[in-house]
């Protein structure tokens, strides 16, 4: 065992103080030590993107960061997307466009899409395809995910 480090981070606005083993990934800290299990782990080596979360509003692989590196950071996960009973436009668009089947990859796709649409609300279809190519889905064949994110982009833009 290596020496534990005390860190403080926020997840969806809530404060957490955790004593972490440095080898724990951020994903493990979020799931196992902060109890936020909406973030899924697929490959655990940065390929699949299921664990994508927003770190200080930027989409990152939470399996490729150590929890100890998240000290002082603002983390956003899928649990923070809905506003009370009201789903986020991306969540609605995923439901309306049948953009998920088993749902395992969905939290990663939602956080990736949230990050990019917040950073680039006017992103082109082509650039969106490039961004979405970062994550893997074994069910849908991607067409409906792309459709849903485009729909959410248009919806979010119209809502201003």
Residue among 18, 50, 65, 90 that touches another protein (CB under 8 A): 65
Under rule CB under 8 A, residue 110 binds another protein: no
Under rule CB under 8 A, residue 60 binds another protein: yes
Q: Which is nearer to another protein, 1 or 158 (CB)?
A: 1
Q: Which is nearer to another protein, 35 or 72 (CB)?
A: 72
Interface of this chain with another protein, residues 73 to 102, rule: CB under 8 A? none
- Spell out the SS3 assignment of the chain: CCCCEEEEEEECCEEEEEEECCCCEHHHHHHHHCCCCCCCCCCCCCCCCCCEEEECCEEEECCCCEHHHHCCCEEECHHHCCECCECCHHHHHHHHCCCCCCCCCHHHHHHHHHHHHHHCCCCCHHHHHHHHCCCCCCCCCCHHHHHHHHHHHHHHHHHC
Residue among 68, 81, 110, 145 that touches another protein (CB under 8 A): 68
Number of residues that bind another protein (CB under 8 A): 32
Q: Which is nearer to another protein, 54 or 95 (CB)?
A: 54
Residues contributing to the site for another protein (CB under 8 A): 1-3, 5, 21-25, 28, 44-46, 49, 52, 58-61, 63-66, 68-69, 112, 115-116, 130-131, 133-134
């Amino acid at each position: 065992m290596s020496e534990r480090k005390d860190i403080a981070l926020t997840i969806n606005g809530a404060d957490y103080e955790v004593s972490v083993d440095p080898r724990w990934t951020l994903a493990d800290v979020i799931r196992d030590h902060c109890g936020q299990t909406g973030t899924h782990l697929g490959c655990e080596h940065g390929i699949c993107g299921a664990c994508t979360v927003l770190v200080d509003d930027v989409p990152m692989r939470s399996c490729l960061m150590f929890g100890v590196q998240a000290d002082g950071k603002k983390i956003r996960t899928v649990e923070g997307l809905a506003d009370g009973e009201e789903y986020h436009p991306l969540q609605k668009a995923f439901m309306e466009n049948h953009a998920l089947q088993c749902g395992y990859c969905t939290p990663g796709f939602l956080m990736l899409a949230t990050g990019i649409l917040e950073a680039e609300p006017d992103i082109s279809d082509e650039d969106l395809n490039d961004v979405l190519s970062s994550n893997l889905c074994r069910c849908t064949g991607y067409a409906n995910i792309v459709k849903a994110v485009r729909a959410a982009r248009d919806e979010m833009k119209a809502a201003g």
